[in-house]
Amino acid sequence: FTLMAMPPLVIQATQRHTATIIWLHGLGDTGAGWRPAMPIFRMPWAKFILPTAPVQPVTMNMGMSMTSWYDIKGLAPNEEQDEVGLERSRKIVEEIVRQEIANGIPSHRLVLAGFSQGGVMALLTGLRFGQRLGGIVGVSCYLPLAHTFPKAIHEANHHVPVLLCHQTDDPLVQYSFGQRTSTLLKESSEVPVEWRSYQGGGHGVSDQELLDIGAFLRRVLPERDDEGSTASMQGISITTIIEPPSI
């Protein structure tokens, strides 16, 4: 197990920085794999932080070492979960959030988002975080350690906006996994969940999905921060769309 494979990729805001989005990749990917998607969200006031997961053996992949936020035993609904690995990566992600708050961005101007394994980590970390977040986005994922919820939701995030997106034909993380997560949060908590389903994308992300995610992000993190925040203007520009294959 390597604590971090590499430093997070950071895409600075191209105008006054008032919000930050932390995007977490899927199994075997890196933060850089999602870099081309970020401009699609059309948020020049936002800084994007794209961490890369630690390198570790993955049981499901015959013990091969790769970037992975936690070990995956298998993809069956009742498969044993790597609680130790989940907690270890939760602390890594939470530390990135805390560093951003220390740098002057209020917690309510932060969103945790991710694809597949990364979406799992966004849900786990965001719902348990002790300060109010701006939102959580989970794409092609599920809520881990579901038996600990809703009790595990921190009172600060009882009303955090959550967007869940899933392809109906996902062959790896079953569509029903996402549905169950949405139902659990809607029926047993006060968390406002938006559930969106798509067709034909498999275990990937469609153009429409990215546009919908962007609309959600701009709604929960609008350019104007009425409660105020500090940060300076820096930036780069990038383009194109991706459909990552990792889980």
pLDDT at 224: 81
Return phi, psi of residue 166, to 5°: -155, 140
**Can you give the length of the chain in residues?**
247
pLDDT at position 74 is: 86
Mean of pLDDT over the chain: 90
Per-residue pLDDT for 232 more than 70? no
212 is catalytic: no
Q: Is 170 an active-site residue?
A: yes
From the candidates 25, 203, 225, 246, give the one annotated as an active-site residue. Answer: 203
Active-site hit among 170, 189, 225, 246: 170
Angstrom distance (rounded) from CA 220 to CA 18: 12
Tens digit of each residue's pLDDT (9 = 90 or more) over 196-213? 999 999 999 999 999 999
Please state, for a pLDDT cut of 90, what percent of the chain lies above it. Answer: 83
User: Which one from 68, 89, 116, 246 is the annotated catalytic residue?
Assistant: 116
Residue 94: both structure tokens together:
């939470």
Residue 242 has pLDDT above 60, yes or no: no
Calpha distance 48→31 (Å, rounded): 10
Indicate whether 75 pLDDT > 90: no
Distance of alpha carbon 74 from alpha carbon 71, whole angstroms = 9
Residue 76 has pLDDT above 70, yes or no: yes
pLDDT at 3: 55
**pLDDT tens for residues 92-134?**
999 999 999 999 999 999 999 999 999 999 999 999 999 999 9
Q: Which amino acid is residue 201, in one-letter code? A: G
Q: What is the pLDDT of residue 226?
A: 67
pLDDT tens per residue, range 49-58: 999 999 999 9
Q: Residue 11 gets which letter from DSSP?
A: E
What is the rounded CA–CA span in Å between residue 235 and residue 184? 39
The yes-or-no answer on residue 203 being catalytic is yes
Tokens matching residue 172: 């790896």
